[in-house]
Amino acid sequence: MAMPTIHKDLSLISIVPKWSRAETAVPLEEFLSSIVGAATMGRWTEEDCVQIATLHLLDPAKTFYNSNLDPHAADVTWESFKRAFCERFREVRPDQYYFSKLQMAKQDRNEGPQEFADRCRSLAQKVMGRDDPVAQRIHREKAERMCLALWPV
């Protein structure tokens, strides 16, 4: 009995956003997870993920890719590709930066209540440390209280 042929669905490339380090761009984690999600649905290989990611890079991410030999290696894996970009473009701002942004958050004129709440939650997640679970719980509780205090009445 012959096995059915499984085809890749490369049309899902269209759901992968372009990515640069710009503050207005989607976060790196979101960019990488969009590739993983599309790869899962489209039955892409690791090589496909690397190729599609490189096609969606914009400056300065494209400059980093072009100037770094590791991602160009013939045996580069998706994990090593992601690791190279996560190390290079990791968040350099301290938690205090996002904490003060959360403390001073105000709802924008064209921003609905749900969008404002989502933005506050996003800032709160950036405040939380990822290493220590106890500190993370404390930060989460404090951030939730701050979000509630910011909620328009």
DSSP 69: S
Query: Of 32, 45, 14, whose CA–CA distance to 81 is shortest?
Result: 32
Q: Which one is predicted more confidently, 153 or 77? A: 77
| Residue pLDDT, tens place only, 54-76 | 999 988 889 988 888 777 777 88
Domain ranges of the chain: 10-88, 95-150
Quickly state the pLDDT bin for 3 (edges 50, 70, 90): low
| Residue pLDDT, tens place only, 82-131 | 998 888 887 777 777 777 887 888 888 888 888 888 888 777 777 765 56
| Residue pLDDT, tens place only, 6-34 | 788 888 888 899 888 776 567 888 899 99
Average pLDDT over residues 38-62: 91
Q: Which one is predicted more confidently, 3 or 64? A: 64
Distance CA 153, CA 149 (A): 9
| pLDDT surpasses 70 at 2 | no
pLDDT for the residue numbered 5: 66
pLDDT for the residue numbered 147: 67
